[in-house]
Amino acid sequence: MAVMSEINGSGAGKDHFTKRQTLLVAASTVVAAALGVGCVFAVQDAFAAGDASSAQQYTGQPAAGLHGGYGYGGGYGGGVSGQSGSSSGSAGSASGSASESGSDADPFGGNAYGQASGTTTAATAAQSRGIVLIDTQLGYQSAEAAGTGIVLTASGEILTNNHVIEGATSITVTDAGKTYTATVVGDDPTDDIAVLQLQGASGLATARLDTTHSVSEGEAVTGVGNAEGGGTLVAATGEVTGLDKTITTEAEQSAASETLHGLIETDAAIEPGDSGGPLFDSSNKVIGIDTAASSSGAADGYAIPITTALVIAKEIEAGNAGGNINIGYPAFLGIELGETDASGLGSAQGDASSAGAQIAGVVANGPAEEAGLSAGDVITAIDGTAVDSADALQSVLTAHAPGDDVSLTWTDTAGQSHTALVTLTQGPAA
C-alpha cells in the first residue's frame, strides 16, 4: 500500500480520490471565525493517491487560521493549529485537479473536483425506490451540506455514510417528496457507516438489496445519488473495475487519518453529494454504498459492499456500542483545545507547569463557558481522574452521555485551580 506524506491537488502524475460525502452548500466565514473554528471542513473532503492509496484531507471555508474544530465525539475538537482553508465549492480546473481557492465561488459551479464527467441521466423509478436525499445543518460551522441514503425499513431506518452526517446539528431526509426530521441511531466512523431514524415515518418503500450476489470485475453497475446536491437523484453508469480496494486518508489539521478496506471500484462517475447512495447491479439491486471517487482524470469511484454495511448496521440497530460503533449522539463539553507538547503541557497559553488539556476557546453558552472556563485555561481532572493530555480528556468524555454531570477541575491563566459541576449536553453527530 502506497503512503504519501503530502499530496497537492495539482500534483503532476498523481491521481486523487475524494470522499463524496456532504456537498458544501453555504458557509459563513465571519461566524466560523467568531467561533474560533479553523479547518471548518477539515472532516469534509479527503484525498487519496493511487491504487490502495494514501489521502490528504483538506479544509473547506477559510477561518482565519484559528484552532481545530469544536467538541465532536467525546466533547472536543482536534486541538491542532488551523490554517486558512480552501473552498470546496470552486470549479475544478481544466486539468481536473482540485481547486484550492475561491471561497466565494458557486459551490455548484462545475465539478468542484475536476472529475471527468461520465454517462449520467435522471434516476429511473426503479432506481429511486427506497433512495432518499439527506440535508444537514452544521450549526457550529454555520454551514449546510447534502448527501444520500438508503431506506432499510418501512418505518424509516436509513443507511448512509458516517461522513454524510458528521458534525450535523440537525438532519432532514426527503423521501418521495416528503421531508422528515432524522436522528442518529448510531455510527461507525472508522468504517464510514451510519444509521438514521426518520421521525413519524411509516409505509416507506424500502430499497432492494442484493446480499447474495458475487460481484465481479467487468459487470455493469449504476451509481445513484443526490449529485452536486441538486435535490434530485441522478444515475451514473459504469462497470466494476476492481474489488477489495483500500483507500487511506492522511491526517491533516483536525481530521484524523482513516483507512477504508474491501471497497468496490467502478468507473461510474460518482459525484459530490452521492455519498450514502446505492451502487446498483444490472437488476437495480443495491450491491454497495457510494463513498469515494477520483478527483481528477477519468471517473473512478469506490463503494462499500452492502454486505459489509449491513453487518455494521445490524450492530447499530441492536444498540451494541463498543469497538468502532457509537450509539446516539456524543456528549458535548463545548471547548476547543489548543496545541500541547508530547507531555500534554499547554504550549501557548496558561500555566505551562500544569499538565492537562489546554483550552483555546469555548462555545458560547456551552457547558464549559457556563462553568467559567475560558481560553488559556488547562483542564487537569474530570471526576477526580487526572487528565494529562487532549487524548486523555477525549477518552474520559467519550465514556459519558449527554445529560451526565461531571466534576471538572482546571487551572486558569493566573495559576489558580477551580472545580465545578458541569452538565454535558448533546453534541453534533460524531
The continuous run of DSSP H or E covering 315 comes out as: helix 306-317
CA atoms within 13 A on the CB side of 395: 10
Alpha-carbon distances, residue 257 vs 38, 88, 181, 189 (angstroms): 18, 19, 31, 11
The secondary structure of 104-145 as a DSSP string is: TS-TTSS-TT-PPP--EEEPPHHHHTTEEEEEEEEGGGTEEE
Alpha-carbon distances, residue 233 vs 44, 109, 121, 149, 283 (angstroms): 21, 18, 9, 11, 18
- E strands, 88-233, are 120-122, 131-138, 143-151, 157-160, 170-175, 178-188, 193-198, 220-225
The pairing of beta strand 45-49 with beta strand 16-19: antiparallel
Alpha-carbon distances, residue 355 vs 67, 164, 358 (angstroms): 20, 36, 9
CA atoms within 13 A on the CB side of 217: 6
Neighbours of 347 (CB within 10 A): 13
The secondary structure of 319-336 as a DSSP string is: T--BTTBEESPPEE--EE
Could you tell me which residues are beta bridge partners of residue 406? 422
**Could you give the residue numbers annotated as active site?**
163, 192, 275
CA triple 85-88-94, angle to 5 deg: 115
- Nearest-CA neighbor of 144 among 89, 73, 84? 89
Q: What is the C-alpha to C-alpha distance for residues 7 and 54, in angstroms, rounded to an integer?
A: 9
